[in-house]
Structure 1
Amino acid sequence: MKIGDKIKELRELRGISQRQLAIKAELDPSYLSIVESGKRTNITLDVARRLSAALGVNLEELIESETSDKNEKMSIADKLREIRTSKGLTQEALGQLSGLGRTYVNHIECGRIPNITIQTAQKLAGALDVSTDDLMEVKTSDKAGLPDKSMADMLKAFTSDFADKLQKLEIIEIPVRGVIPAGNPAVEEEIDLGVIRVPREVVEGKIDRVFALKIGGESLSGDGLHYGDNVLIDPDAPIIDGKIYAVRIGGTEVLARHVYKENGHLRLESSNGEYKRLLATDVEIQGRLIYQMRKL
């Protein structure tokens, strides 16, 4: 027996009208009419509980005919529409109550938004006055709904993901070893200029090897690098044409330039037209620029 027929049978046995049952179960009368007519073939657990209480029967008795179908649960779109209409709410009203807006609610119910977050589910459940579990009761294979996980599992996954993101935002101190000319080559001089502070995610996996240098010229101004800016250098980064590297020329002079491989030597280019290109064979790559911090 279909759920609509079961409700109608129990209602008529008790001699009450659709309207009386709807009022007693705190449902919209038009919604109950749709269920009994068979136009609505599924009802939510919350609705079933209300009806069973109003009819004076236990929940199992009301839904026993539907037991074999319980593995095929509703999609999140159908579930949301089901609960909303059972409450007599329009999409506009639900959008206002949840703070999500009518358009967003409409897109969920139409399947244009195939997945909703836990936070969105909580807002909708709160506005509909049902538990999040009732709203998220979707079939396992339904990719248009929420993942088939318990709230505890999803909360654990969310907490773990949040912890990972928080760790990546941890501030790391990197030593500034000296000034790198971004102008004409100059003799290398390593000095202690303190430290710079960057998010851990910038140097993830490279913390033990990266170091910082301070820009000492304007040859890379076209890249947004100016005198006094700090840059992070990764000495193990591979050479890729066009990337910016700290290089040593002739064993002593250092500078920062775009590096290109060309016929057995390296071409060093600036991004400022006032500086000429350099062709060199006696070049030692000190490392690639992987991050820059503008001077405040």
Structure 2
Amino acid sequence: MKRKLMFLSLAAIGLASCNGGFKQGEGGLLYNIHTSKGGAKIKEGDFVSLNMVVKTDGDSVLNSTYESGQPNRLAMPKPQAKGDVVAGIGLLGEGDSATFKISADSIFKGGQQRPPGFKSKYLVFQVKIEKVIAKGNLNDQVFRGRVTDYLKGQMDGLKAQEPAKIKKYIDDNHLKLEKTASGLLYVITNPGTGEKPAPHDTAVVNYTGKMVNGKVFDTSIKEEAQKAKIPMDPMRQFAPIRIPVGEAKVIAGWDEGLQLLNKGAKAIFIIPSDIAYKDQGIGPIAPYTPLVFEMEMVNVVHPNPNTSKPIVRLPPPVTK
């Protein structure tokens, strides 16, 4: 009997070691709570702001709110299944942090496509709860007011931080820039020899877009995408893109900046949010986010008055 009990104890220790200290919850959820402030746990309908890193079990980062500077903000939904990430978040309160491991088979079911090259057994979610506004017995008007006040404070903070972020990037990279009346900052790193595009011309350009923390979020150059470890869409064709100039088809900073470059020129643009995605942001680009673009003017194409305008492929603003 003692031998049997000892065997069971050793088996339990072995299981804990295999799970790396994780506890097992309902639906096979594996969780490890790193920080617990002892506050009330998040309930359905509460407003939650959280930072999250999503990784493979091989430690490859698939998504991170820290890179974009934009936490996820949501009204806490019901779990869709036992052991999903929403159920895991329900174990936490404001200020808490945890790691959850969820079986990839349970996430990518019902025909949902896995990311290209994804082979992990688990998806790993590292979560930090930044703010909780409890719905409780508050009426909808009071609850919405509290959420609105909180979000306004966050937006005001991001707006106030933008000039310092731009200055730090300039100082760290020792850039000597020119500034246009709109606020576009630029330096031509390699002068071209051809003509500059005028409104209604088509600029053929290569580009690489970065956050001011150096994180590449999109590029037309395959080698740059591979170097930045951007998830590769096998259907995407990496090539210079065609931009109708002066027609507001792209962000204002691009529309202005492209007209400063002649054929063959290379440049760096630092584009404040006011002439980029403003107070709305897009995808992983947070509101009031300045952007950095490395640009190359490959060609300038004049419109042919005898033909209809071609259908052009505009650059995807972000890679999710």
Q: TM-score range by the shorter chain?
A: under 0.3
Structure possessing the higher relative contact order (Cα contacts under 8 Å, 6 or more residues apart): 2
Pair member with larger Rg: 1
More helix by proportion, 1 or 2? Answer: 1
TM-score by length of 1: 0.19
TM-score by length of 2: 0.18
